[in-house]
Amino acid sequence: MKSFPLMIAAVAFSTIAAAQTPTATTNAGAAKADAKAMKKQSEAEYKEAKKSCSAMKGDERETCLKDAKATHEKAEADARGKHEMAEAKTDKEKAEVSRKVEKEKAEATKKSAN
């Protein structure tokens, strides 16, 4: 009789744990939602960075704006990559997404340097 409450607790715990186990669909949906949130965040940060650059003058302002844009483009590349990675089904597709994101980030860095 003393083990009955323990048995009920064990069954309840295992049921809760099984219900919280993520599935591939859940992970993909969460990744897409995260990507959307990342994109919104990058937009907000870009607007804020442009505001802070507006107080500057001349070359300093131009450099600030270029850096802000490069940072924004990198963040958007990460967000797109996260979304595309969630949709990728094979390791080959995932590797292609990773290469694409790294290329976009490198291009953004190159633009800001010019």
pLDDT tens series, the chain, 114 aa: 455 554 554 454 555 545 554 545 557 778 888 888 999 999 999 999 999 999 999 999 999 999 999 999 999 999 888 888 888 889 999 899 999 999 988 988 888 777
- Whether 45 maps to a domain, the answer reads yes
SS3 track for 40-55 = HHHHHHHHHHHHHHHC
Total number of domains constituting the chain: 1
Domain limits for position 68: 24-113
At residue 56, φ and ψ (nearest 5 deg) are -90, 170
- Whether 56 maps to a domain, the answer reads yes
The whole-model pTM stands at 0.65
